[in-house]
A and B are shown apart, each in its own frame.
Chain A
Amino acid sequence: MIKLRGIAKSFGKQEVLKGIDLTVEKGEVVAILGPSGSGKTTLLRCINYLEKPNAGEISIDDFSVNCRKPAKKDIHLLRRKTAMVFQQYNLFRHKTALENVMEGLVVVKKLPKEEARRIGAELLEKVGLADKLDAYPSQLSGGQQQRVGIARALALNPEVILFDEPTSALDPELVGEVLAVIRKIAREGITMIIVTHEMGFAQDVANHIVFMEGGLVVEEGPPKVIFQAPKEERTRQFLARYTSDSAYSI
């Protein structure tokens, strides 16, 4: 179980997160929705400490980090327990698809190369890239790169995978293949927190929806409630705008 308590983050004078509380049960898929600038990316980045929160507590099961005075070793441990799939993929450009997935296994988990290779090949097969093991990122389409990114995150066997708009940099015709992979691993019971603007996808893959605005959680609940009968006026307005102009389906 992942628990965030009072996560706060400012950039200079601008308060971007104003005390976020969030609990994610094991195996749950949480979708975070919200308008641009509401702090969604910042929240994800705080969870694996790519951004340093000013205050709050992040706990995963019985491990916890106090963000006011984190120990270096705790930050490192937190990063090992979480994985991130980036909007811009951020694959290691000088490594092949297989090497990208193996990197964390060999360097962080200290597995023997052979075993890492076996696991890496298995994971790439799972995301439908069995024929691209030796391709460099520059030789892959955006959708393929993002699937490698997902395999790389899975390799570490993290407690939670964080997705930051995993399909928003993709051409529309490539979105489906990536969402299909995320859907597939969601079914395997991996805990995920997904920031997305794909409402249809959020609705059918998530067990829990969080609506953020202005650095606060405005409303949260099961997809049925949030999408069909939101309590807050702001949520309603936001969803109305999105459901009217999002034409995509999967």
Chain B
Amino acid sequence: MQLDLSFIWTAFVGLLPAVPTTIRITVVSVLSGFAIGTFIALCRMYRIPVLHRAAAAYVTVIRGTPMLTHLLLIYVGLPLIVDGLAERFGWAFRSVQIPMIGFAYISFSITAGAYFSEIIRSGLQSVNKGQLEAAHAIGMTTPQALRRIVFPQAFAAALPNLSNSVIGMLHGSTLAFTVSVVDIFAQAEIVATTNWKFFEAYLAAALLFWGLTILIERLTALLEKKVTRYNRGGVA
């Protein structure tokens, strides 16, 4: 096989239009996964009646099954539910109006929520309970204490694991091609088949993902420097 070096560059340029799609899927799933994960972690830590059991079930089911199954189940199952409800309540909305990328957003958010909840939970548990007590003792309400005292420290502790999961979601977003979303990987398929140069196209995609990953690592390092400033130095 002859490696066409210059085609790697051509393919690379050809992949760029798909970059925003990949980033959008990653950002949406990470942000909503973070919100879901925080909620789930709090339900479990504070043993909210009923909810904490549901939360625990959600985490083991989602973490116990591949991300691809979540996507396909949502892709097949969601339209059935939406159309069923629409018929019942006489909505004009039909499942065909859901854009393909919407399935990726929803299912990957569900996936990320389960993984993030465990990371957030261990971050919250790493914060000494004296911190919450001290906040209560100066008259803060629990929501104030969580927001201002506990979360920032939990976030700093969880950051390295969060960063790994963000990278995991970036790489996992390639699965979106199975529901016809044209992300970087799907675009590489297109470039490869139209030019009959698979190796070069996949190599270009790999380089692109590697670059994005390094970007995430750099951003994490910057953020880490900022949020863990208080941990450095020290007599005590």
CA distance A96 to B148 in the complex (A): 14
Within the complex, which residue of A86, A107, A140, A141 is in contact with B134, where a contact is CB–CB below 8 Å?
A86
Judging by beta carbons under 8 Å apart, are B230 and A95 in contact?
Answer: yes
B residues near A167, Cβ cutoff 8 Å: none
Tell whether A194 is near chain B: CB-to-CB under 8 Å.
Answer: no
Asked if A108 and B140 make an inter-chain contact with CB atoms under 8 angstroms apart, the answer reads yes
Contact between chains at B153 and A136 (CB < 8 Å): no
Q: CB-defined interface of A88-103 with B at 8 Å, one 1/0 digit per residue?
A: 1011111110000001
Q: Is the CB of B131 within 8 A of A93?
A: yes
* Contact status B144-A94, CB under 8 Å: no
Residue-by-residue, is A114-158 near B (CB-CB < 8 Å gives 1, otherwise 0)?
Answer: 000000000000000000000011111110010000001100100
| Distance (whole angstroms) from the CB of A102 to the closest CB of chain B | 11
From A93, A145, A152, residue with most partner B Cβ within 10 Å: A93
Cα of A104 to Cα of B183 in the assembled complex, Å: 49
Q: How far is the CA of A156 from the CA of B134 in the complex (A)?
A: 13
Decide: A104 and B235 in contact? CB cutoff 8 A. Answer: no
Q: Is chain B's binding surface mostly helix, strand, loop or mixed? A: helix
Q: Closest CB-CB distance, A99 to chain B, in whole Å?
A: 10
Contact across chains for B140 and A107 when beta carbons are under 8 A apart: yes
In this complex, the member of B152, B229, B232, B234 whose beta carbon has the largest number of chain A beta carbons within 10 angstroms is: B234
Contact residues of A between 23 and 46, Cβ < 8 Å to B: none
**B139: CB under 8 A from chain A?**
yes
Residue numbers in B under 8 Å from A79 (CB-CB): 136-139
Q: Is the CB of A152 within 8 A of B235?
A: no
Which of A49, A92, A145 gathers the greatest number of chain B CB atoms within 10 Å? Answer: A92
**With A50-B137, A86-B134: A93-B236 Cβ-Cβ less than 8 Å:** no
Bound together, the chains give a CA A225 to CA B114 distance in angstroms of 63
Instruction: Give B131-169 as 1s and 0s: 1 = Cβ < 8 Å from A's Cβ atoms.
Output: 101111111110010001100110010000000000000
Please, which residues of chain A bring their CB within 8 A of the CB of B144? 107
Residues B234 and A90 in contact, CB atoms below 8 Å apart:
no
Assess whether B231 is in contact with A138, with CB atoms less than 8 Å apart: yes
The reply to whether B235 and A141 contact each other, CB–CB distance below 8 Å, is yes
Q: Digit string of B162-194 for contact with A (CB within 8 Å is 1, else 0)?
A: 000000000000000000000000000000000
Asked if B233 is at the interface of the complex by the 8 Å CB criterion, the answer is yes
Considering only CB atoms, which chain B residue lies closest to A141 in the complex? B235
- Report B131 CB to chain A, min CB distance, Å: 6
Report B-chain residues with C-beta under 8 Å of the C-beta of A49: 136
Query: Digit string of B100-136 for contact with A (CB within 8 Å is 1, else 0)?
Result: 0000000000000000000000000000101101111
Chain A residues within 8 Å of B, Cβ to Cβ = 48-50, 76, 79-80, 82-84, 86, 88, 90-96, 103-104, 107-108, 136-142, 145, 152-153, 156
User: Can you give 19 A-B contacts (C-beta < 8 A)?
Assistant: A48-B136, A50-B137, A76-B139, A79-B137, A79-B138, A83-B137, A86-B133, A93-B128, A93-B131, A93-B231, A94-B149, A95-B230, A103-B138, A104-B138, A108-B140, A138-B230, A138-B234, A140-B235, A152-B138
- List 17 additional contacts besides A90-B128, A94-B153; criterion CB under 8 Å: A48-B137, A49-B136, A79-B136, A79-B137, A88-B130, A90-B133, A93-B131, A94-B156, A96-B230, A103-B138, A107-B140, A107-B144, A136-B229, A136-B231, A137-B230, A141-B236, A145-B236
